[in-house]
Chains A and B, each alone.
Chain A
Amino acid sequence: MSENILSVKGVHKSFGGVHALKGVDLTIKKGEVHCLAGENGCGKSTIIKVISGVHKPDSGEVELNGKKYTSITPSEAIEAGVQIIYQDFSVFPNLTVMENLAINKALASKKKFINKKEFRRIAEEAVNKINFKVDLDALVEDLPVADKQLIAISRALLADAKLIIMDEPTTTLTKTEVKRLFEIIEDLKEQGVTILFVSHKLDEVYEICDSITIFRNGENVLSCQVSEMDDEKFAYYMTGRKFDSQNIKQNAKAGDSILEVKNLSAPGFDNVNFNLRKGEVLGISGQLGSGRTELSLALFGLLKPYEGSIVVDGKEVNITSPAKAQELGIALVPEDRLTEGLFLSQSIKRNINVTKLDELSSKLGVMNITALTDESKGWVKNIGVKTKDHEYPVQTLSGGNQQKVVLARWLATNPNVLILNAPTVGVDIGAKHDIHTLLRNLANEGRGIIVVSDDVKELVDVCDRVMVMQQGKIINEIASGDLNADMLSQYI
Chain B
Amino acid sequence: MKLLKNNSLSLNQLDGNTARLLTMFVAIFLVASLTKPDMFLSSGNFQSMSKQLVEYGLLSLGVGIAMISGGIDLSVVYIANLSAIVTGMVMKALVLTAVGPELLLFILIAVLAGVLTGFLCGAFNGFLISKLHIPAMLATLGTMQLYMGIAIIISGGSTVSGIPRVFSQLISNSYLFGIPLSFFIYLFVVGFIIFIMSKTKFGMRVFLIGTNARAAAFSGIKINNVLIKTYILSGLLASLAGILSLARLSSAKADFGSSYIMQTILIVVLGGINPNGGYGTIRGIFLATITVQVISSFLNMFPEISNYYRDLIWGVAVIGVLIVNFSANKKTTAKLAKATAN
B199 within 8 A of A: yes
Whether A339 lies near B341 (C-beta < 8 A) is no
Give every chain B residue within 8 A of A18 (Cβ-Cβ): 338-341
**Contact flags (1/0) for A1-25 with B, using CB distance below 8 Å?**
0000000000000011110100000
B65 CB → nearest A CB, Å: 15
B133 CB → nearest A CB, Å: 16
Please report the C-alpha to C-alpha distance between residue A67 and residue B288 in the assembled complex, in whole angstroms: 58
Measured CB to CB, the residues of B under 8 A from A are: 1-3, 5, 199-202, 204-205, 207-208, 211-212, 214-222, 278-279, 335-342
Q: Give the contact stretch, choosing among A358-366, A453-461, A472-480.
A: A358-366
Whether A322 lies near B200 (C-beta < 8 A) is no
Whether A322 lies near B220 (C-beta < 8 A) is yes
Most chain A beta carbons < 10 A, residue from B214, B216, B340? B340
17 more A-B residue pairs beyond the given contacts A16-B335, A389-B5, with a C-beta to C-beta distance below 8 A: A15-B338, A18-B340, A45-B342, A302-B217, A302-B218, A321-B220, A322-B217, A332-B218, A343-B216, A345-B279, A346-B208, A346-B278, A357-B201, A365-B202, A367-B204, A369-B199, A395-B340
Would A366 and B199 be within 8 Å (CB), given that A15-B338, A16-B335 are in contact? yes
Closest 5 CB pairs of A and B: A357-B201, A41-B342, A16-B338, A322-B220, A15-B338
Whether A17 lies near B212 (C-beta < 8 A) is no
Please report the C-alpha to C-alpha distance between residue A361 and residue B196 in the assembled complex, in whole angstroms: 13
Would A350 and B204 be within 8 Å (CB), given that A332-B218, A340-B214, A355-B219 are in contact? yes
Give every chain A residue within 8 A of B279 (Cβ-Cβ): 345
Would A344 and B339 be within 8 Å (CB), given that A322-B217, A325-B220, A361-B201 are in contact? no
Interface size on A, residues (CB 8 A): 48
Please report the C-alpha to C-alpha distance between residue A77 and residue B199 in the assembled complex, in whole angstroms: 53
Give every chain B residue within 8 A of A341 (Cβ-Cβ): 215, 218
Whether A342 lies near B220 (C-beta < 8 A) is no
Whether A367 lies near B199 (C-beta < 8 A) is yes
Give every chain B residue within 8 A of A321 (Cβ-Cβ): 220, 222
Query: Nearest residue in B to A359 (C-beta to C-beta)?
Result: B201
B244 CB → nearest A CB, Å: 26
Whether B211 lies near A344 (C-beta < 8 A) is yes
The residue that B201 contacts in the complex, of A45, A46, A367, A393, with Cβ under 8 A, is A367
Interface residues of A in 389-406 (CB under 8 A from B): 389, 392-393, 395-396
Whether B215 lies near A355 (C-beta < 8 A) is no
Whether B211 lies near A343 (C-beta < 8 A) is yes
Give every chain B residue within 8 A of A392 (Cβ-Cβ): 1
A323 within 8 A of B: yes
Whether A46 lies near B342 (C-beta < 8 A) is yes
Give every chain B residue within 8 A of A340 (Cβ-Cβ): 214-215, 218
Interface residues of A in 304-360 (CB under 8 A from B): 321-323, 325-326, 332, 334, 339-346, 350, 353-355, 357-358
Most chain B beta carbons < 10 A, residue from A20, A343, A396? A343
Would A342 and B215 be within 8 Å (CB), given that A350-B208, A366-B199, A367-B199 are in contact? yes
Whether B204 lies near A357 (C-beta < 8 A) is yes
Give every chain B residue within 8 A of A409 (Cβ-Cβ): 219
Whether B219 lies near A322 (C-beta < 8 A) is yes
A200 within 8 A of B: no
**Contact flags (1/0) for A360-394 with B, using CB distance below 8 Å?**
01001111010000000000000000001100110
Give every chain A residue within 8 A of B5 (Cβ-Cβ): 389
A194 within 8 A of B: no
A428 CB → nearest B CB, Å: 11
A43 within 8 A of B: yes
Please report the C-alpha to C-alpha distance between residue A18 and residue B1 in the assembled complex, in whole angstroms: 9
Give every chain A residue within 8 A of B212 (Cβ-Cβ): 339, 342-344
A71 within 8 A of B: no
Please report the C-alpha to C-alpha distance between residue A344 and residue B337 in the assembled complex, in whole angstroms: 13
Would A42 and B342 be within 8 Å (CB), given that A344-B211, A367-B200 are in contact? yes
Whether A334 lies near B220 (C-beta < 8 A) is no
A249 within 8 A of B: no
19 A/B residue pairs, CB under 8 Å, sorted by A: A16-B338, A18-B338, A302-B218, A322-B220, A339-B212, A339-B214, A339-B215, A340-B215, A340-B218, A343-B211, A343-B216, A350-B204, A354-B204, A357-B204, A361-B200, A361-B201, A365-B201, A389-B5, A396-B339
Please report the C-alpha to C-alpha distance between residue A101 and residue B335 in the assembled complex, in whole angstroms: 36
A276 CB → nearest B CB, Å: 20
B61 CB → nearest A CB, Å: 19
Give every chain A residue within 8 A of B341 (Cβ-Cβ): 15, 18, 20, 46
Give every chain B residue within 8 A of A218 (Cβ-Cβ): 342
